[in-house]
Amino acid sequence: MPPRRLWTEVLAGLVVALALIPEVISFSVIAGVEPAVGLFASFTTAVVISVVGGRPAMISAAAGAVALVIAPLNREHGLGYLIAAVILGGVIQIVLGALGVARLMRFVPRAVMVGFVNALAVLIFLAQVPEMRDVPWAVHPLILGGLALMVLFPKVTTAVPAPLVSIVVLTLITVGAGLAVPTVGDRGALPASLPTPGLPDVPFTLDTLTLIAPYAFALALVGLMESLLTAQLVDDLTDTRSDKRRESVGQGVANVVTGFFGGLGGCAMIGQTMVNVKTAGARTRLSTFLAGVFLLLLCLTLGPAVSAIPMAALVAVMVMVSLTTFDWRSITPATLRRMPLGETGVMAVTVVCVVATHNLAVGVIAGCLAALGVFARRVAGRAELAVSRAEDGSAVRYAVTGDLFFASANGLADRFDYAGDPDRVVVDLGGARLWDASAVAVLDAIAAKYAQRGKHAEVSGLTGPGAELHTRLSERG
């Protein structure tokens, strides 16, 4: 590795480690566990995923989405059951990854991805708002100063990441001037010893498995969805490809290892990944590995110094991340005029659902469903019907063109003149494509309505898969 690249990866890992500490502590509070549980989980997850994951430079650690999913389990049954759910969730992720669940990513439309990115940026910014309310007056100029440093410092040199410079300078100003502002240490005590492996303190019974299984399955799905979407985002940013199958299995392995070390479950951290890839310029697994190592070293050896970092410095970093993550081009008037209304609507649905629920998985699912509705409506209107009659009036031919499936075929039956047509009716599907059982059922219904009047309706023109589907499913085939 060239020295300049090595330097970039090392400094990126350090910046990410500093950015992880307060956020992971916050997620630990959400899950109802000690800060050390979340911090140790971030160390083990980052180190393991740097080796077994499928997306270089992506940061995985104890994440808010996972904390929200398993918080009720910890609150009602205790830490042992939470850890057991993390291990089981990891096993489920390994199984899903091996089965190729990552292939489902191809069904996520671009409008949903844009909405996902924009919603992420909004959530990152909203998460910083509480740090700007009811705080000493000095916090606001510190945040503005940190933002100014990150904008201006790269014009001087890019050898050192601007976020790291901002954190160091604001910390020195705060300590040197004796400013009474919120610090990292105010979020909770940092760990003072290494984690040790062990089994969760739960009875190994069927009742325990039944209790933790729903939480483990939810953890597995949410973790995989966020990780795969983040991997796709990094693919686009770096113009490289990742191994989604390996990433899915790797996330599971990381959670299993983390669980055996008594840690909170984790997945890809989108905000910190943006810090690593977009802000600090990292591109290799080394930055992910070092982020975990530096996190542990900072907590164990430099606890007092890390505790003195003002929250304003980290808020400034995350605000800059939110501003650079948001796809501003997607909301410019020129783009909105050019983009189909349905695509813009799908993006808006994704953003609104994510921001309203603070759950990226919910927003992505809602966006995909909205995109499916838009697609179905658009394709449904492509089924056309042309009528031609024999000169002697003995037969009528209905030529159907377009895609026939549940959305387009249901209205087709109402466009035939059952009473006025002659005894022989030909439904010509040579220009149509038959997609599902609903379309076959509609064709059967048309034939049945003619038969009730003593008339014969003949379906013709089908070839290939459409003909096979009709032969297999048609009651009259």
Q: What is the pLDDT of residues 209-255, one digit of tens each?
A: 999 999 999 899 888 988 998 998 899 889 999 999 999 999 999 99
Label residues 202-230 b or e (16+ Cβ within 10 Å = b). Answer: beeeeebeebbeebbbbbbbbbbbbbbbb
Give the pLDDT score at 160. 77
CA-wise closest residue to 459 among 406, 399, 410, 411: 399
User: Do strands 266-268 and 384-389 pair parallel, antiparallel, or not at all (unpaired)?
Assistant: unpaired
Q: What pLDDT score does 31 carry?
A: 81
> Taking every pair of C-alpha atoms in the chain, what is the biggest distance, in angstroms?
101
Question: Of 281, 243, 287, 274, whose CA–CA distance to 53 is shortest?
Answer: 243
pLDDT at 359 over 80: no
Q: How confident is the model at residue 16 (pLDDT cuts 50, 70, 90)?
A: very high
Rg of the chain, C-alpha, whole Å: 29
Spacing of C-alpha 240 from chain mean position: 18
In terms of pLDDT, which residue wins out, 187 or 116? 116
pLDDT of residue 477 exceeding 60, the answer is no
pLDDT reading at 360 higher than 80: no
pLDDT at residue 388, as a whole number? 92
Neighbours of 103 (CB within 10 A): 11
Q: Is 86 in contact with 264 (CB distance < 8 Å)?
A: yes
Strand partners, 386: 399
263-267, 303-307, 359-363: range with lowest mean pLDDT? 359-363
- Lowest-confidence range among 153-162, 193-202, 205-214, 336-345? 153-162
pLDDT at 382: 66
Q: List the beta bridge partners of residue 459.
A: 427
The number of C-alpha atoms within 13 Å of 74 and in the hemisphere containing its C-beta is 23
Q: Is pLDDT of 475 > 60?
A: yes
pTM above 0.85, yes or no: no
Start-end of H helices in 129-180: 139-156, 162-177
Residue predicted with more confidence, 321 or 468 = 468
Bridge partner list, 387: 398
CA–CA dist 296, 188 (Å, integer): 15
Please check the confidence at residue 39 and state whether its pLDDT lies above 80.
yes
- If pLDDT is split at 50, 70 and 90, which confidence band does 169 have? very high
According to the model, what pLDDT value does residue 41 have?
93
Q: How confident is the model at residue 44 (pLDDT cuts 50, 70, 90)?
A: very high
**What does the pLDDT read at residue 238?**
92
Q: Name every residue whose Cβ is closer than 8 Å to that of residue 109 and which is 6 or more positions away in sequence.
A: 346, 367, 368, 371
Question: Which tokens in the block code for residue 389?
Answer: 């009659």
Indicate if the pLDDT at residue 429 is higher than 80. Answer: yes
Residues 94-151 have pLDDT tens digits of 999 999 888 877 778 889 888 888 887 888 788 888 889 888 999 999 999 999 999 9
pLDDT at 301 > cutoff 60: yes
Q: How confident is the model at residue 302 (pLDDT cuts 50, 70, 90)?
A: confident
Q: The tokens of 377 are what? A: 């409506």
Least confident of 174-178, 319-323, 368-372, 376-380: 376-380
pLDDT band for position 380 (cuts 50, 70, 90) = low
Q: How far apart are CA 472 and CA 342, in angstroms?
A: 35
Please tell me which residue, 271 or 58, carries the higher pLDDT value: 58
Averaged pLDDT score across all residues of the chain: 88
pLDDT of residue 381: 64
To which H or E segment does residue 77 belong?
Answer: helix 64-77
- Which uninterrupted H or E stretch holds 429? strand 424-434
Q: Which range among 50-54, 85-89, 256-260, 457-461 shows the weakest confidence by mean pLDDT?
A: 457-461
Token pair of 447 as six digits: 């034939």
User: Distance (Å, rounded) from C-alpha 247 to C-alpha 268?
Assistant: 10
Please state, in angstroms and as integers, the Cα–Cα distance from residue 404 to each residue in 285, 371, 379, following that order. Answer: 48, 19, 9
Q: Cα angle at 436 between 434 and 438, to 5 degrees?
A: 105
User: Residue 158: its pLDDT value, please?
Assistant: 73
147/162 Cα distance (integer angstroms): 10
Which secondary structure element, helix H or strand E, spans residue 62, and what is its range? strand 60-62
Residue 476 has pLDDT above 60, yes or no: no
